């Protein structure tokens, strides 16, 4: 009798979990929930190899919480949404690269439409677009890029060291200074369970007033300082490279 009751409880719990679980499609990355709260980010002024013109000082930021993709968006995920005459190995699970900042926004909107969500980004109705002509639709429930603050607090995972692995980082934990991309999630995750936050490919983030921004360092990073949690790079909205990809956020 006890065994029967146990299995009934187990079945009820399973059904409840299935009903309350986020209903992502099969093309989704697995998402990690970043809890609401206050997080300390930024770099101290004496951090080695800090770039004072591009990096923010230590500060506290507050978030309402969000979901962020556990891995960088793969080629398979990208081209299941964006039609393109490109050949790639679907089984390789490599992060998509050679996509501009604008491309990553188009992907977010296209995937939102595909899944019946409200598009976040509003584009002007013309052929040539600059980043200062793009606006965000408030309260949209679709996919978007992380801000640099969101990206960094997710990368740090409540750590305050130069890297989320501590004061140092080695190729045992991250793909950098190598010959190319590796399969996503090939290395150990950070304490939040996010893979390749440092290394493999840099990741596009939302812009500032002048530039599109990216973070994280890549396989192409010769200087390990590019993998610091606070490091940031700048480019224009059309720039593409074989070392820049992205991951996405979905609001709660």
- The pLDDT tens digits of the residues spanning 184-238 come to 999 999 999 999 999 999 999 999 999 999 999 999 999 899 999 999 999 999 9
CB 135 within 8 A of CB 124: no
Buried b (16+ CB within 10 A) or exposed e, 59-88: eebebeebbbbbbbbbbbbbbebeeeeeee
Residues 6+ apart with CB under 8 A from 165: 173
**CA-CA distance, 88 to 76, in Å (whole number)?**
8
Angle at 89 between CA 88 and CA 92, to 5 degrees: 130
pLDDT tens digits, one per residue of 103-142: 999 999 999 999 999 999 999 998 899 999 999 998 999 9
CB 242 within 8 A of CB 62: no
- pTM for the structure as a whole: 0.87
CB 36 within 8 A of CB 212: no
Residue of 127 and 13 predicted with greater confidence: 127
């Amino acid at each position: 009798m006890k065994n029967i009751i146990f299995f009934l409880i187990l079945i009820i719990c399973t059904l409840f979990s299935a009903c309350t679980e986020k209903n992502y499609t099969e093309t989704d990355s697995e998402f990690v929930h970043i809890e609401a709260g206050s997080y300390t980010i930024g770099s101290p002024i004496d951090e080695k190899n800090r770039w004072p013109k591009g990096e923010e000082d230590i500060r506290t930021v507050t978030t309402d919480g969000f979901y962020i993709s556990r891995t960088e968006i793969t080629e398979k995920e990208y081209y299941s949404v964006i039609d393109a005459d490109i050949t790639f190995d679907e089984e390789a699970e490599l992060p998509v690269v050679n996509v501009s900042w604008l491309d990553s926004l188009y992907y977010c909107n296209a995937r939102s439409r595909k899944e019946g969500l409200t598009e976040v980004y509003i584009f002007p109705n013309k052929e040539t677009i600059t980043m200062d002509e793009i606006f965000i639709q408030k309260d949209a429930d679709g996919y978007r890029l992380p801000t640099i603050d969101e990206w960094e607090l997710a990368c740090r995972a409540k750590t305050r060291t130069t890297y989320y692995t501590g004061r140092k980082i080695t190729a045992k934990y991250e793909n950098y200074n190598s010959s190319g991309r590796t399969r996503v999630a090939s290395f150990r995750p950070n304490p939040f369970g996010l893979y390749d936050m440092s290394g493999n490919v840099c990741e596009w983030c939302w812009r500032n007033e002048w530039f599109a921004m990216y973070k994280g360092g890549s396989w192409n990073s010769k200087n390990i300082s590019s993998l610091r949690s606070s490091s940031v790079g700048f480019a224009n909205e059309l720039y593409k490279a074989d070392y820049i990809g992205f991951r996405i956020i979905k609001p709660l």
